[in-house]
Chain A
Amino acid sequence: MAELHLIGQIVGASEFPDSSLFCKFGIHTGGAWKVLGGLREGQTQVDNPEIGDTAYWSHPIDIHFATKGLQGWPKIYFQVWHQDTFGRNELYGYGHCHVPTSPGMHKIDCVTWRPSGNLQEQIMQNFVGGGPQLKSADLIYSGADRFHLKTTAMGKVHMHLGVILRNFDKYGVEC
């Protein structure tokens, strides 16, 4: 079996309306992929930065995958949440990106979006906060059923990812 090591960090997030942020993330893979070591899901710390508008999470990622096929190459998906001074959490964005297929170090900025809902929901959100959320997290990384959604742009999640491949060339896969 070919192996993939994903080593890196979710550095932080910027360009969100408020910067006291945390993030829940996970890695979705196809059926042929197995995790041999490391955490597939996690939640970062809440950072309330003193300088600038970038929240830093410095959340380490170190996962070892084994696979029998390329179908379902790993995808990282995020939910960015905002925590206010009272400790209430509000959804700020969803986003996903593919793990790069080429080995080496990669700096990745992942854009995020949020469901905006209809006019009534938007007005409600403006005054009371909250807002629509996805019922199931699958929609973050799947292309089906997206056409129902109305969304708005939110900030970016920054990552440093290192990819190490093993034995892909043995099976003739050129990465």
Chain B
Amino acid sequence: MFPEFDDICCRYTFACGDDWTVTSGLEEGVTQTSKKSSDGRQIFVLNFPLDITFKSTNPYGWPQLVVHAYGSDVFGKEIVRGYGVTHVPITPGRHVQKLAMFVPESSSRFQKFLSWFVSRRPEYTDPTRVASGEGREVTRVRSQGYVTVTFNVVTKDMKKMGYDSTPSDVTNALPGSQTSAASPDS
């Protein structure tokens, strides 16, 4: 949902720690460009499938989904409309997440005008920056939309390696460390 814009196209990337590898599925992708629905809902439907399997020896560096949205401005140039990030849920099951989408702001009013004029807004050189906690104190952002993502998570061999990700009274025989997420989103 982006109330201020008419067309949106999303890209996604998974960011994960050093111990993690992708065993199957696509780590990156681009959705179609969607126009805002003309009814009262004012939403963009992307309905884009994600399907990926990760493998690791250690939960540290758990994968994060980074979504970055683009749209065209009045001059027809492609402009970034938001960055959003969330961790892949750690528990097996279906999870619906609403990601806030924010863009970095220009540091001064003059730069803001200049960047509007030449259609080059501030953006991150590497979108996966938003998945790291370092160096954030220097950025000023404006959040201007949401992206909804549905995760269906399956874990494997977590229990066998001694990891508990569900409370003990509901811990059951889900045999033991792989995470996979699959979801159509909007």
Task: Give A62 to B86 CA distance when docked, in angstroms.
Answer: 12
Say if the beta carbon of A118 comes within 8 Å of chain B: no
Residues on A with beta carbons closer than 8 Å to the beta carbon of B59 = 5, 7, 64, 164
Say if the beta carbon of B39 comes within 8 Å of chain A: no
CB of A45 within 8 A of CB of B136, answer yes
Task: Give A47 to B133 CA distance when docked, in angstroms.
Answer: 15
Task: Give A175 to B167 CA distance when docked, in angstroms.
Answer: 6
CB of A58 within 8 A of CB of B165, answer no
CB of A48 within 8 A of CB of B140, answer yes
CB of A105 within 8 A of CB of B142, answer no
User: Across the A-B interface, how many residue pairs have beta carbons closer than 8 Å?
Assistant: 136
Contact A38-B60, Cβ < 8 Å, known A43-B137, A51-B3, A175-B168: yes
CB of B91 within 8 A of CB of A105, answer yes
Chain B interfacial residues counted at CB < 8 A: 44
Contact A42-B87, Cβ < 8 Å, known A162-B165, A166-B163: no
CB of A50 within 8 A of CB of B4, answer yes
Stretch at the interface among B23-31, B98-106, B113-121: B98-106
What residue of chain A has the Cβ atom nearest to residue B83's Cβ?
Answer: A58
Residues on B with beta carbons closer than 8 Å to the beta carbon of A165 = 163-164
Q: Which of A28-49 contact B (CB under 8 A)?
A: 36-39, 42-49
Residues on B with beta carbons closer than 8 Å to the beta carbon of A39 = 133-134
Say if the beta carbon of A116 comes within 8 Å of chain B: no
- Taking residues whose C-beta sits less than 8 angstroms from the other chain, chain A's interface range is 35 or more
CB of B142 within 8 A of CB of A166, answer no
Residues on B with beta carbons closer than 8 Å to the beta carbon of A22 = 137
Residues on B with beta carbons closer than 8 Å to the beta carbon of A91 = none
Say if the beta carbon of A146 comes within 8 Å of chain B: no
CB of B3 within 8 A of CB of A62, answer no
CB of B133 within 8 A of CB of A60, answer yes
Binary B-proximity of A95-139 (CB < 8 A = 1, otherwise 0): 000000011110000000000000000000000000000000000
Say if the beta carbon of A169 comes within 8 Å of chain B: yes
Which of B86, B102, B139 neighbours the largest number of chain A CB atoms within 10 Å of its CB? Answer: B102
B residues within 8 Å of A by Cβ? 3-4, 17, 58-62, 64, 84-87, 89-91, 95, 99-100, 102, 105, 130-134, 136-137, 139-145, 158, 161-168
Question: Can you list 10 A-B pairs with a CB-CB distance of less than 8 A?
Answer: A5-B59, A60-B87, A83-B140, A102-B168, A103-B166, A162-B89, A166-B163, A166-B164, A168-B164, A169-B168
A residues within 8 Å of B by Cβ? 5, 7-9, 11-12, 22, 36-39, 42-51, 54-62, 64, 83, 102-105, 160, 162-170, 174-175
